[in-house]
Copies of this chain bind each other. A is one copy, B any other.
Amino acid sequence: MEMRQKSCLVGMCGVVMMLAAVVAQAADQLPSWNDGPAKSTIVEFVTRVTKAGSTDFVPEPERIATFDNDGTLWAEQPMYFQLLFALDRVQAMAPQHPEWKTREPFASLLKGDVGKALAGGDKATAEIVMATHAGMTTEEFEKIVRDWIATARHPRTGRLYTEMVYQPMLELLAYLRANGFKTFIVSGGGIEFMRPWTEKAYGVPPEQVVGSSIKTKYEMREGKPVLVRLPAIDFIDDKAGKPVGINSHIGRRPIAAFGNSDGDRQMLEWTQGGGGKRLMMLVHHDDGAREWAYGAESKIGTFSDSLMAEARKQGWTVISMKDDWKVVFRPSNELQGR
């Protein structure tokens, strides 16, 4: 017995040493993550599914990871950045729309009263979106987004929006890709609002972006083929829409999914439901000092109490921005004094 116990202990010791070595190695690839349950969950998952011969091994083509965008890969306060884009567009387009001076929700927006403009609810939001996102070709819209993302600055931090992406999540995307994963964005945001900049910002090419969309129509204009953006919703990639969007665009079930709000619940359920080793994580915005602290009471990106309860029940890992991230944006340049 003694011998057996001894060799067993030696064996366990070997496993522990191996895992420690793997974690140490991975540490180089996730330098902005503090040691803790979130980081070790990620590293253990990746180690298991990539180890040939392991019962948890997943062949490379099936290593699909999906990421929500707003609040998961970049910030979303004081409101979704795409809404800030729409508001900037309303200002820019106002000279061509004198009628907006007296028509809501535009009249309030032009007076700078966003709260009053959005008090009109979904109908007001839809009016703003359609006025600013439809009526041009896909190429024209792409240029508008490119110009905006290259120059517009966040109202509180003064940063470019692409400077408000989360450094730890960039490292996670790269770490997964280095381990044979294909990384996808699956966002409630507009698919064509994201595609012009996700490749540069996240290393995610346009064909790996899934999002909400409006309808487009193919036609010839002066002998040139164009796709015209119509003022009609095509698809809402949020909540129960996320598994539908994933199925439509990817055609495989993810083995890892990352979100931060109730809009991501079904994506995580769908990922978990596939069986086998799975990784489900939720970013929790609990860092009022370096970013924002918000939860159920927030108007956007709601991480409700019921989502927290489901995360605990299902064994999803909650990432504490405060505890798990060494840095939020960039080491030299936190959002101090905002």
Contact = CB atoms under 8 A, between A and B. Distances in A.
Interface of A: 61, 64, 138, 182, 191-192, 195, 199, 205-209, 213, 216-220, 224-227, 234, 240-241, 243-244, 247-252, 266, 269-270, 273
B138 A250 contact: no
Task: Give the most central of A209, A224, A227: most B CB within 10 Å.
Answer: A227
A219 B244 CA distance: 10
Given A191-B251, A217-B244, A244-B216, A207 B182 contact: yes
Task: Give the most central of A138, A243, A252, A269: most B CB within 10 Å.
Answer: A243
B61 A251 contact: no
Contacts of A64: 207
A270 B218 contact: yes
A199 B61 contact: yes
B206 A251 contact: yes
Contact of A251 (B192, B240, B244, B247): B192
A143 B325 CA distance: 43
A243 to B, nearest CB: 5
Given A225-B269, A225-B273, A227-B243, A251 B218 contact: no
A227 B244 CA distance: 7
Contact of A218 (B138, B217, B240): B240
A249 B64 CA distance: 16
A199 B61 CA distance: 10
Nearest to A266: B218
A224 B273 contact: yes
Contact of A213 (B213, B224, B248, B273): B248
26 contacts: A61-B199, A61-B205, A64-B207, A138-B247, A192-B251, A195-B251, A205-B252, A206-B250, A206-B252, A207-B208, A207-B252, A213-B248, A216-B247, A217-B244, A218-B241, A218-B243, A218-B244, A218-B266, A218-B270, A225-B266, A225-B269, A225-B270, A225-B273, A226-B273, A227-B244, A227-B247
Given A206-B250, A207-B207, A225-B270, 13 more contacts: A61-B205, A138-B247, A182-B207, A191-B251, A195-B251, A207-B250, A209-B251, A216-B244, A217-B240, A218-B243, A225-B269, A226-B273, A227-B247
Contacts of A192: 251
A317 to B, nearest CB: 19
